[in-house]
Amino acid sequence: MLEVYDVKKGMDINMKKILLNALLIIGLLLLTACSGKDKFINTDEVTVNTILAKANGELQAAIVEDFDKPYYDINELKEFILKEVEAHNQRAGEGKVRLDEVKQKGNKAIMLMTYSGMDQYVAFNKVTAAYFNSGIENLKLSLPSTLKNASNDSVTNTDEVIKTEGYKVLVLNEPYEIIVEGKVKYYSDNAKLLEKDKISTTAEGLTVVVFK
Mean pLDDT of the 163-189 span:
96
Q: For position 37, what pLDDT does the model report?
A: 57
Q: For position 28, what pLDDT does the model report?
A: 45
Q: State pLDDT tens for residues 53-64.
A: 999 999 999 999
C-alpha span between 119 and 207 (Å, rounded): 17
Specify the 3-state DSSP secondary structure of 12: helix
CB 147 within 8 A of CB 185: no
Indicate the average pLDDT of the chain: 87
Mean pLDDT of the 30-52 span:
77
Mean pLDDT of the 128-139 span:
92
Q: For position 35, what pLDDT does the model report?
A: 43
Instruction: Report the CATH architecture of 38-126.
Output: Roll (3.10)
Q: How confident is the model at residue 29 (pLDDT cuts 50, 70, 90)?
A: very low
- The answer, yes or no, to whether residue 133 has pLDDT greater than 50, is yes
DSSP category for residue 39:
-
Q: For position 11, what pLDDT does the model report?
A: 52
Q: How confident is the model at residue 2 (pLDDT cuts 50, 70, 90)?
A: very low
* Residue ranges per structural domain of the chain: 38-126, 127-212
**Among 37, 174, 41, residue whose Cα is nearest residue 101:** 41
**Among 194, 186, 199, 193, residue whose Cα is nearest residue 154:** 186
Neighbours of 168 (CB within 10 A): 20
Q: For position 12, what pLDDT does the model report?
A: 59
Q: How confident is the model at residue 191 (pLDDT cuts 50, 70, 90)?
A: very high
- The answer, yes or no, to whether residue 14 has pLDDT greater than 50, is yes
Mean pLDDT of the 194-210 span:
92
